[in-house]
Amino acid sequence: MSAEDAERRLFAETLSCELELPVEVSASDHRGRQAQAATLLSSLAQLEDLRKDDGEDHGDLPLLAQRMDAKLDLILALLGRLASRDGAMAARPLRWSRHGLRIDFQDALPPLPLHAPVVLRLQPAEWLPDHLELPAVVLEQVEMARGGRLWLGFSDLRPDLSEAMDRHLFRLHRRQIAEQRRR
């Protein structure tokens, strides 16, 4: 499979997001923690729905609740930064769809043969010090002048995890569009 074929397989006619998130890939035929991943993504969705229901400007919340909400945001961001220092997962540019990921490495690519089963560890939100563990397969890899690019296709995801991931990607995509409009 060529890089263009891998790109088409993962991103053609499907929603995708370009982000920079902590991610790690290791060779393994382990199935990952799919139940925990589905729960984590569902919990993130519920949290975002609650915040959206509160109103983006928080104008209808009492001042004390707005302050508590802001403090909670700061604490979660701090915890996320502290955990990322200890966790050692490097943040990397990536493109994510329901079919898999393309990860850009500024350093050397991990030594993984094509079609090898891997476990992908991905932190779905910058402020959240927890990660998803997902089974995937190496579709393609390309060495570049500085680093390389790796295409991973998800393999045998549970239906509830696929659904939760679709919702999460939709929210990420919607947030990216809103940020572009503000600029």
Spell out the domains of the chain, with CATH numbers in brackets. Answer: 3-182 (2.40.10.220)
Please, which residues have CB within 8 angstroms of residue 66's CB and are 6 or more apart in sequence?
58
Please, which residues have CB within 8 angstroms of residue 37's CB and are 6 or more apart in sequence?
132, 133, 134, 161, 164
Please, which residues have CB within 8 angstroms of residue 131's CB and are 6 or more apart in sequence?
22, 87, 89, 121, 122, 123, 124
The model carries a pTM of 0.79
Containing 50, the helix (H) or strand (E) segment is helix 34-54
Cβ proximity of 12 and 83 under 8 Å: no
pLDDT tens across the length of the chain (183 residues): 799 999 999 999 999 999 999 999 999 888 878 888 888 888 888 777 665 554 455 456 677 776 777 677 667 666 766 665 555 688 899 999 999 999 999 988 888 999 999 999 999 887 777 889 999 999 999 988 888 999 999 998 999 999 999 999 998 888 888 888 888
Whole-angstrom Cα distance, residue 107 to residue 13?
A: 30
